[in-house]
Amino acid sequence: MTDTAAEPRLTSLAHGGGCGCKLAPSVLREILSEMPVGGGHADLIVDAATSDDAAVYRVSDEAAVAATTDFFMPIVDDPYDFGRIAATNAISDLYAMGAAPIFALALVGMPIGQLSTGTIRKILAGGRDVAEAAGAPIAGGHSIDSTEPIYGLVALGLVHPDRILMNSGARDGDVLILGKPLGIGIFSAALKKGLLPEADYRAMIDSTTRLNTPGAALAGMAGVHAVTDVTGFGLLGHLSEMCRGSGLAATVGADSVPVFEGARRLASDGVRTGASGRNWESIAGMVDAPGLDAPARDLLCDPQTSGGLLVACDPAQADKIMALFNEHGHENAAVIGRMQAGSPAIAVR
């Protein structure tokens, strides 16, 4: 197929889009409940046991390899932007571990016969350009003929074994910093319904293609105790993993969480994703949120595609870390809460 004018919209070919495609956390836990993780290998420093963002394998006293993979169906209709978003999202997992990206492999599944080779080429070009900007050239990959368009990366990076950032190291008294606003899932849902204004679309593209480069610098900073990136499970879902991994409770100030104004308006008008409801059901038992209305709950559980880093750090370092985010163009970063002693739970106030 070569006629792009006759092609369907990318999002019309997929039952879901972006990180909203992820399995619900409760379903994933059930599937993996009897699956062994990689324990027993001394040089496998990080495996799936703490639901972290990447696996890490020590290759020497000075170097470890971080490896991750992420792929999904289209969140937007522009093929180049779809490729950029998918690559940015995959590489984010490396930054969340404090790793510097080194190279990547492409994962490509396309409905041949429905999409032209030109459109597929644009998707791959978007991914290539982001990977090159991150210093991680795409060295190869694998492709299949699939019923829905799928694109993503296997991404690899390097990190010092003593500077790995995990989601399980938060300490009592740490403040929580979120690097990007919430609302990408709601924007995506509005786009599929033809309800997303152009200005909100541009804000969505700017956020989802902005690399989480502060992560590599955070690995060498004193007082940074835990990091993850907020993606398909929403802010509360990924914070719950940090709480469980660290054995701590968290308090979040609902009014302190950065949210796209357009997403807030759309949520108030009833626009939401199915994934936000599944995300809430998976963590509702550990969340105390009196007075939280449905739109606010949907935003806190909204599945983020290529979302921001969530950092738990010493309060004395918060200003320095906020300055780092700003230097890297993450101007909406904000302090949103605090970790404290207690059984793993989240209070939203």
The answer on pLDDT for 4 being more than 70 is no
The pLDDT score that the predictor gives to residue 34 is 76
Cα 155 from Cα 174, distance rounded (Å)? 30
Asked if residue 234 lies in contact with residue 279, where contact means CB atoms within 8 angstroms, the answer is: yes
pLDDT band at 238 (very low <50, low <70, confident <90, very high): very high
Residue corresponding to tokens 């104004």? 261
CA distance to 92, 169, 243, per residue, from 313 (Å)? 19, 10, 14
Pick the catalytic residue: 19, 21, 243, 313? 19
19 labelled catalytic: yes
Give residue-wise pLDDT tens across range 37-57.
656 689 999 998 878 999 999
Rounded to an integer, the average pLDDT of 105-125 is: 97
The half-sphere exposure of 100 on its side-chain side, counting CA atoms within 13 A, is: 9
Q: What is the pTM of this model?
A: 0.93
What's the count of helices (H) and strands (E) in the chain, helices before strands? 11, 13
Helix axis angle, 117-133 relative to 79-96, nearest 10°?
Answer: 30
Give residue-wise pLDDT tens across range 79-94.
999 999 999 999 999 9
The answer on pLDDT for 5 being more than 60 is no
CA distance to 20, 78, 203, per residue, from 123 (Å)? 19, 8, 20
The pLDDT score that the predictor gives to residue 1 is 47
Alpha-helical regions (H) of the chain = 25-32, 79-96, 117-133, 184-192, 198-208, 214-218, 234-246, 261-268, 274-283, 294-300, 318-327
Give residue-wise pLDDT tens across range 175-219.
999 999 999 999 999 999 999 999 999 999 999 999 999 999 999
The pLDDT score that the predictor gives to residue 349 is 94
The pLDDT score that the predictor gives to residue 121 is 98
